[in-house]
Amino acid sequence: MTQPPQWKAMYQYVARRAHDGCARVEESVAAARGALATPMVLDTRDAAGRCTLLHSAVTHVEHASDCLSGFIVSVVVAELLVLHGCGAVPSRPVASIDGLRRNRDDHDEWLALSRLEAAREHGQDALRGVEGAFTLLASVRFMLRSRTPDAAGRRQAMEEQLHAAAVELQAVVGSVANMSALAFLATQPAIRNRIQ
């Protein structure tokens, strides 16, 4: 690394913060999946007539979306810090990961950057899945608010949307696990530096 060790500490701090945010995403997705797994999603209502489990699932999906957006921003910041820290001067960062690959002295940073990029890609996949689930849940909420929520075939359509949202969130679980592991590994030294 061309810059002093503070650069490395900075990107590792930001990557650790991103990794910490993964737990909030996991909790929100698990809570949304739990609400959707209940067979009474469309039938459990509060005094105002609002479907409480559906509302809970939507709220948790929105929170997961917010947390995933924060994760992606943190990872991008960490990537930029790695590139700036490997430049000759901070105002002239290394152009890309390929610039690090050629320099043997920056192997740890190259490895961290490749892990951060992969974590960001998994985060983007998870965000697409969460947004897809939100769209499906919003359509169910719209159907419930229509003038004829009990029209023929409407309940089946809503149940199919709920099932599709649950399937979307199942795929998100894998993406979140991958992004969490990669964000953690981005803060760890290369295996060659840990084994003597």
pLDDT digits (tens, 9 = 90+) for 68-107: 999 999 999 998 888 877 766 666 666 566 655 565 566 7
In a domain, 177, yes or no: yes
* Residue 94 in domain: yes
Q: Which two tokens stand for residue 185?
A: 């590994």
Does residue 196 fall inside a structural domain? no
| Identity of the amino acid at 46 | D
User: pLDDT tens for residues 104-120?
Assistant: 566 778 888 889 999 99
| Residue whose structure tokens are 């199942």 | 170
- Which residue matches tokens 């949307």? 161
Q: Tell me the H-state helices in 86-153.
A: 97-101, 107-145
Residue 31 lies in a domain: yes
Q: How far apart are CA 91 and CA 7, in angstroms?
A: 13
Say what the pTM is.
0.85
Q: What is the DSSP letter of 145?
A: H
d(CA 31, CA 155): 23
Contact 179, 123 (CB under 8 A): yes
Question: For the chain, how many structural domains are there in total?
Answer: 1
Give the residue from 30, 31, 42, 28 showing the smallest Cα distance to 162. Answer: 42
pLDDT higher than threshold 70 for residue 7: yes
Q: 59 is in which domain, residue-wise?
A: 5-191
CA atoms of 20 and 12, how far apart (whole Å) = 12
